[in-house]
Structure 1
Amino acid sequence: MRIAVTGSIATDHLMVFPGRFADQLIADRLDKVSLSFLADDLVVRHGGVAANIAFGLGRLGLRPLLVGAVGRDFTEYRARLEEAGVDTAGVRVSDTRHTARFVCTTDADQNQIATFYAGAMAEAREIDLGTVRREAGGLDLVVVAPDDPEAMVRHTLDCRRSGTPFAADPSQQLARLDRDQVRRLVDGARYLFTNEYEAALLRDRTGWTERRILGRVGTWITTRGGDGVVIRRCGEQPLTVPAVPAAAPVDPTGVGDAFRAGFLAGTSWGWPLQRAAQLGCALATVVLESDGPQEYRPDAVDLLLRIDDAHGSAAAREITPRLAGVA
């Protein structure tokens, strides 16, 4: 199955604040916040939602096509992604802008405050997905992840016009998108990804009820952190998949992206939704225990042990044949 992942490609600057953000906030002064957090650690990592998802898919043995815009400082990052099994032929290189930057501080409760600088990502709107699809020899699924808003809308429209199945993952960009844009991004998606907060925000932005959203998408997947995942389909009972417990959480950055990679890998192999989500949960926990969103190499034995412990031996047995080729 040929999957294209469109969206942000960025460098992550990740910091750790040893205290709690909540302890620094004064309830009746939230209209004028001026805070500075002294971080104990700084790590610079490669990231970006689309790159993180593509990285995970590549590590699981697929050959995803990454589609996005970067700066001329992308050379080293490109080589790293290619080594992980990612096809970067769909990446546009800007002549004037730097690759996007994600600056994030995580507190002791794993809460995060982040700022994203778009940089070259603003040129993603110049990418013609139709051309990318033809040069790739066709696409079976396009993931529309957070990106330049105009690019997200263009890619979604192209998918609908061409009949290419797509997954809607508006995520952080919900705060920037207006009602019409969000409706166009969601309508007709084979898969819709949100976390719990984004699910509520999506209902607010679209003005649609949950029932109406389910009538317009194939499958709505909502991640809930330590409470696992809920999968909803129109006319069916919700399916709840428990999270895979983490032995020693390190950094939540990219955990949701890893879940998407595992889930999409499973569905591309023809697995039922429950099994795909179980692999997604296992890969998400691997990333949670890693220092950065792409600082891991999935191991088949480790993944199967995690799935066996969290979801039972039957699930592990069914998943084993496909994971045999994972390093």
Structure 2
Amino acid sequence: MHLAIAGSVATDHLQLFSGQFSDSLVPDQLDKLAVSFLVEDLDIRRGGCAANIAFALGSLGHRSTLVAAVGTDFAEQGYQAWLEKAGVDCSLVHVSATLHTALCTITTDDAHAQIVTFYPGAMSEARHIDVAAIHAERPIDVLLIGPDDPAGMQRHTRTARDAGIPFAADPSQQLAWADGELIADLVDGATFLFSNDYEAALIEKKTGWSAQDVQSRVGTRIVTRGKDGVSIFASDGSVLEVPAIPDVEAVDPTGVGDSFRAGFLAGVGAGLDHERSAQVGCTIAASVVETTGTQEYTLARESFLARLGGAYGQAAADEVGAALALS
């Protein structure tokens, strides 16, 4: 199955704040907010939602196509080589002649709350990428449309609908600023809709749709709930609950949602059902949350399947092991 992953590629600046942001917030004074947090650490890592998902797919043995806009520094600083070594097809990325690759600064407190700022840079040229041309050259079985240049996300979504390309809508970080009309356009007609529980509520609030209204416009809704696992809402009205991996030693939540999406899509691409696919997603997400950085983990076949089997049973491990080309 040809999976194409559209979205951001960025350099992540990860910072840790010893304390809780909430201690410095005065609820009735938020309109005058002016706070400064002294961080104790700075870690510079490769990131971006599309790159994280494509990297995770490669770690699970699935070669995907990266659909993104980057700067010349993407190749010059070794990011492209890194992804290609991980099994990602970077041959179709759009390279800006004038702008740097996007930069994301993420500060995490002791409660794992995060404050994120994002400089889009070359990402703003994603609107110039023609998904229809990619599809004509090599038919796309599923196109994931993740956080990206808003005009680019909208163009990719409309192209997918017009060309009949099954797509997974993953607006996530862009929901905070997007209005209901844009969100509705990005969601309508999706084969899969990914969100966490907060984002699911935000989609409903901004569009004015109920959960049932959202469901009527998509195929399958996948709602992640952190340590409480994942809820999968099928088009026939059935709901599947998949628990998270237990006994996870959380270090850094950055990129966990991206890795879950990759695991789910890897399972779908390998012919697994939604339950098994979600179990793959939860297992790789556990590896990511236990690691600082979004692409710094390694997956070994034996330990990955043992962890999955310990949580979901040996039958699950056997099915996943037979389907995925883990090294």
The answer, yes or no, to whether TM exceeds 0.5 is yes
Q: Could you say which residue in structure 2 is the equivalent of 1:57?
A: 57
Distance 1:102 1:258 in 2: 17
Distance 2:131 2:321 in 1: 35
Q: Could you say which residue in structure 2 is the equivalent of 1:97?
A: 99
Distance 1:176 1:25, change over 3 A: closer
Judge which range, 180-189 or 150-159, deviates more: 180-189
Distance 1:109 1:121 in 2: 31
Q: TM-score, normalised to structure 2's length? A: 0.97
User: Displacement, 1:246?
Assistant: 4.5
Is 1:45 matched up with 2:60? no
User: Displacement, 1:175?
Assistant: 2.1
Q: 1:83 aligns with which of 82, 85, 94?
A: 85
For the Cα contact (< 8 Å) 1:255–1:293, is it kept in 2? yes
Q: Could you say which residue in structure 2 is the equivalent of 1:108?
A: 110
For the Cα contact (< 8 Å) 1:265–1:276, is it kept in 2? yes
For the Cα contact (< 8 Å) 1:7–1:49, is it kept in 2? yes
Is 1:24 matched up with 2:24? yes
3-state SS, counterpart of residue 38 of structure 1: coil
Q: Could you say which residue in structure 1 is the equivalent of 2:188?
A: 187
The CA deviation string for residues 230-265 of structure 1, in whole angstroms up to 9 with x for no partner, is 000233231110011244211110000000000000
For the Cα contact (< 8 Å) 2:180–2:203, is it kept in 1? no
Q: Could you say which residue in structure 1 is the equivalent of 2:74?
A: 74
For the Cα contact (< 8 Å) 1:10–1:101, is it kept in 2? yes
Distance 1:166 1:292 in 2: 27
Distance 1:34 1:212 in 2: 39
Distance 1:90 1:126 in 2: 12
Is 1:178 matched up with 2:179? yes
Q: Structure 1: give runs of 5+ residues left out of the alignment.
A: none
User: Displacement, 1:307?
Assistant: 1.3
Is 1:268 matched up with 2:287? no
Distance 2:107 2:256 in 1: 15
For the Cα contact (< 8 Å) 1:70–1:94, is it kept in 2? yes
3-state SS, counterpart of residue 292 of structure 1: coil
2:141 aligned partner, one-letter code: D
For the Cα contact (< 8 Å) 2:263–2:282, is it kept in 1? yes
3-state SS, counterpart of residue 248 of structure 1: coil
Distance 2:293 2:111 in 1: 17
For the Cα contact (< 8 Å) 2:5–2:65, is it kept in 1? yes
1:25 aligned partner, one-letter code: L
Distance 1:200 1:48 in 2: 24
Distance 1:49 1:275 in 2: 23
User: Displacement, 1:182?
Assistant: 1.3
Distance 1:18 1:305 in 2: 34
User: Displacement, 1:281?
Assistant: 0.1
Q: Could you say which residue in structure 2 is the equivalent of 1:7?
A: 7
Q: Could you say which residue in structure 2 is the equivalent of 1:288?
A: 289
Distance 1:261 1:254 in 2: 11
Q: TM-score, normalised to structure 1's length? A: 0.97
- Identity between Structure 1 and Structure 2 (%): 52
3-state SS, counterpart of residue 90 of structure 1: coil
Aligned-CA RMSD value: 1.1
3-state SS, counterpart of residue 31 of structure 2: coil
Is 1:148 matched up with 2:146? no
Judge which range, 29-38 or 47-56, deviates more: 29-38
Distance 1:111 1:174 in 2: 18
Is 1:249 matched up with 2:250? yes
Runs of 4+ in 1 over 6 A off after TM superposition: none
Distance 1:165 1:321 in 2: 25
Q: Could you say which residue in structure 2 is the equivalent of 1:120?
A: 122
Distance 1:67 1:320 in 2: 28
For the Cα contact (< 8 Å) 1:211–1:234, is it kept in 2? no
Distance 2:188 2:54 in 1: 23
3-state SS, counterpart of residue 102 of structure 1: strand
3-state SS, counterpart of residue 130 of structure 1: helix
Distance 2:51 2:111 in 1: 26
1:40 aligned partner, one-letter code: E
Q: Could you say which residue in structure 2 is the equivalent of 1:197?
A: 198
3-state SS, counterpart of residue 87 of structure 1: coil
User: Displacement, 1:44?
Assistant: 0.4
Give the number of aligned pairs: 325
User: Displacement, 1:297?
Assistant: 1.7
Distance 1:129 1:247 in 2: 38
For the Cα contact (< 8 Å) 1:219–1:232, is it kept in 2? yes
Distance 1:10 1:21 in 2: 25
1:163 aligned partner, one-letter code: G
2:255 aligned partner, one-letter code: G
Q: Could you say which residue in structure 1 is the equivalent of 2:278?
A: 277
Distance 1:208 1:195 in 2: 17
Q: Structure 2: give runs of 5+ residues left out of the alignment.
A: none
